Amino acid sequence: MRIFLTGATGFIGSAIVPELLAAGHRVLGLTRSDAGARSLAEAGAEPHRGDIEDLDSLRRGAAEADAVIHTAFDHDFSNFVANCQKDGRVITALGEALAGSRRPLLITSGTGMGTPEAGGLAVEDVFNTSHPNPRVVSEVTGAKLLEAGVNVSVMRLPQVHDTVKQGLISPLIEVARQKGASAYVGEGTNRWPSAHVLDVARLYRLAIERGEPGARYHAVAEQGVSAREIAEVVGRGLNVPAVSLSPDEAPAHFGWLAMFVGLDMPASSAWTRATLDWQPTGPGLIADLSEMRYDGAP
């Protein structure tokens, strides 16, 4: 297939590109810069100039492809709500270009959307439309396209990691560096799911090759790693103490991250593994955090 990939030069997208190419697919990668175009060409992909602010560029890319994988997202969390709304517009534009065909559109969301309203383990067959995370807009938009006949499926992500980046944990590390303490809330028993970036890239490929309309996949290798365990390994890496904060103290310490740090977000991938025969093999989150360079060196 010729696959249009948004976010092709990003953390996850740059791992998806070689995964797709190695499987014999052609990749049309969205990029807004000359440097991005060069890196895509060097990797063996075809650059497509545009960005998520230019909806016409997205429609053109989708129209030229047999399938679309959408991973691009504006990660300025100081403007998170607006950026989630923007993602809804991006998904709508991609869906418009695919309307009237069976060409698949694989969009990206978070595992939290699979958490039942009463809380507990997130699973693939749950879509909690009242979830407080504004990213719910992405799946609501995808569901509307599905009702209109577009072949939409969803990849829900946990904390995706290697020894350089670890999802929301990367900005947590910077807070710990600035504050001189690696903090968690309360007893730190709340859990975050995780997966290595190469395992996630492989799952995107499997989902675009074998996915079914309306399916929701969980890219989860570890069901839940405790906040305290994360804070302790980060503290060792930075040589700062791991400390407990009360919920009232969290906003001043964490800033915009305070909305996430106390959440208990365990997630299952049992259905995804069985359906797509996906078996994660990469290092765990704590292993990658233990191996990373905290002095900023590569």
Q: Give the CATH fold of the 2-159+194-220 domain.
A: Rossmann fold (3.40.50)
Where do the domains of the chain lie? 2-159+194-220, 161-193+223-291
Indicate yes or no: pTM above 0.85: yes
Q: pLDDT tens across 285-295, in order?
A: 999 999 999 98
Asked if 2-159+194-220 and 161-193+223-291 have one fold, the answer is no
Query: Does pLDDT of 298 surpass 70?
Result: no
Q: CATH assignment of 161-193+223-291?
A: 3.90.25
CB 123 within 8 A of CB 92: no
pLDDT of residue 164: 95
Kindly write down the DSSP assignment for every residue of the chain, as one continuous string: -EEEEETTTSTTHHHHHHHHHHTT-EEEEEESSHHHHHHHHHHTPEEEE--TT-HHHHHHHHHT-SEEEE------GGGHHHHHHHHHHHHHHHHHHHTTS--EEEEEEEGGGGS-TT-S-B-TT---TT-SSTTHHHHHHHHHHHHTT-EEEEEEE-EEE-SS-BTTHHHHHHHHHHHTSEEEETT---EEEEEEHHHHHHHHHHHHHH--TT-EEE--SEEEEEHHHHHHHHHHHHT--EEEE-TTTHHHHHGGGHHHHT----B--HHHHHHHT----SPPHHHHHHHS-TTS--
Q: pLDDT tens across 236-287, in order?
A: 999 999 999 999 999 999 999 998 999 999 999 999 999 999 999 999 999 9
